[in-house]
């Protein structure tokens, strides 16, 4: 599934534009969607899911305009969406909840729905709890139910908002592997603040800031934004000056060693190989420098 977003804008009453002139082509496979809180990520995902309409611009999915009601309905059948803050109905069991989502997605055959629900529950490791009510689940287990529901109906486009929030490290790794396997034959948009998840799974990344597109390209390209600007200082007892943006800090016996992004190499620093965090911060700095 190929998504083409053209000069997309969204205004909410009495607020600055949530999205402003966003143009982007989302290829098949996994795309990471990055940005600070309020950058417009959720608004973009809600538009792609057909939940809200854009104020300007258009979205084409496999060449069909999402502004058309029949296209929107057809596209919705092929979308799996995991919103950031969703709590499945607590009075239902995972099996019942997934069956409900199956009905919502237009899977009319009850046997097919049940079969899919069982398979997905097994895939997210909840088979032992499939007949227990969701209300008694931990946050991580509920998130796994949410992930399973997004996969009901074998969606061709999967949009997941902070899917690993609340998951323990083991669950996170398992989910990352699951997403990566899904990204082989479909389009997956992964919005997250956990840059490591994007670095590990997404060959393509899109960065939003204040409703505008700031980067759109290969993940390696974003990392390159920090190449030659990432430094590891010697252990210091005083914090770095303002022009050095701290990405990370490690306390040692002699003081604190900082990983910084700056165009002016600190005297006591050695160059470091950049990672996605460095690239993201370097990009943010570029925006702040007119």
Partner 1 sequence: MTLIGLARTHSRVARRQKALWFTAIPLTAFATLLAAISPARPGTGGIEDLAFSGQIIAILTGIAYAAAFTDFFTASAELGMHELEASTPIPGGLLRTARVLGAFSVVIAPAVAVLLAMGLVQTISGHPWSLPGALAVTATVVAPAALIAMALSGVAGALLPAALGRIVAVLLWFFLIFSSSLLPLPTPNGTLFSVIGDAIVTGWFGADPMYPASGPLAFDGTPLGAAVSLVLQLVIVFALLLAGSWLAERTRKR
Name the residue nearer to partner 1 (CB basis): 67 or 110: 110
**Of residues 111-140, those binding partner 1 (CB under 8 A):** 133
Bridge partners of 19, per DSSP, are 10
Least separation in angstroms between CB 149 and partner 1: 7
Among 15, 37, 63, 85, which residue sits at the site for partner 1 (rule: CB under 8 A)?
85
Among 7, 53, 73, 227, which residue sits at the site for partner 1 (rule: CB under 8 A)?
73
Query: How far apart, in Å, are the Cα atoms of 243 and each of 223, 262, 264, 289, 290?
Result: 20, 7, 8, 11, 15
Give the whole-angstrom CA distance, residue 139 versus residue 129: 14
CA 197, 28, 180, 109 torsion-angle sign: positive
**Which of 133, 184, 142 lies closest to 163, judged by CA?**
142
Indicate whether 14 belongs to the interface with partner 1 (CB under 8 A): no
Give the whole-angstrom CA distance, residue 100 versus residue 161: 21
Among 67, 104, 177, 286, which residue sits at the site for partner 1 (rule: CB under 8 A)?
104
Residues in the interface with partner 1 (CB under 8 A) total 33
Give the whole-angstrom CA distance, residue 154 versus residue 145: 15
Indicate whether 100 belongs to the interface with partner 1 (CB under 8 A): yes
Among 65, 89, 170, 177, which residue sits at the site for partner 1 (rule: CB under 8 A)?
89
Interface positions with partner 1 (CB under 8 A): 46, 49-51, 73-74, 76-77, 79, 81-92, 96, 99-101, 103-106, 108, 110, 133, 149
């Amino acid at each position: 599934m190929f998504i083409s977003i053209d000069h997309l804008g969204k205004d909410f009453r009495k607020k600055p534009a949530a999205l402003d002139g966003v143009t982007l082509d989302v290829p098949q496979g996994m795309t990471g969607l990055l940005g600070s809180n309020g950058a417009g990520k959720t608004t973009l995902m809600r538009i792609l899911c057909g939940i809200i309409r854009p104020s300007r611009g258009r979205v084409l999915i496999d060449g069909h305009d999402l502004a058309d009601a029949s296209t929107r309905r057809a596209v919705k059948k092929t979308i799996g969406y995991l919103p950031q803050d969703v709590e499945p109905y607590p009075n239902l069991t995972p099996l019942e909840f997934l069956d409900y989502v199956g009905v919502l997605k237009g899977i009319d055959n009850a046997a097919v729905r049940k079969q899919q629900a069982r398979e997905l529950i097994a895939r997210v490791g909840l088979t032992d709890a499939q007949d227990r009510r969701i209300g008694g689940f931990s946050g991580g287990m509920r998130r796994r139910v949410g992930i399973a529901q997004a996969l009901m109906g074998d969606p061709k486009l999967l949009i997941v908002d902070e899917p690993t929030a609340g998951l323990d490290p083991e669950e996170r790794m398992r989910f990352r592997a699951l997403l990566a396997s899904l990204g082989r034959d479909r389009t997956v948009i992964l919005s997250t603040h956990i840059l490591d998840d994007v670095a590990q799974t997404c060959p393509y990344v899109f960065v939003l800031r204040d409703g505008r597109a700031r980067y759109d390209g290969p993940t390696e390209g974003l990392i390159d934004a920090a190449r030659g600007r990432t430094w590891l200082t010697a252990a210091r007892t005083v914090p770095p000056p303002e022009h050095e943006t701290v990405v990370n800090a490690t306390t040692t016996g002699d003081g604190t060693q900082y990983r910084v992004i700056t165009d002016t190499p600190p005297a006591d620093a050695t160059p470091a190989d950049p990672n996605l965090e460095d690239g993201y911060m370097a990009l943010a700095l570029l925006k702040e420098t007119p």
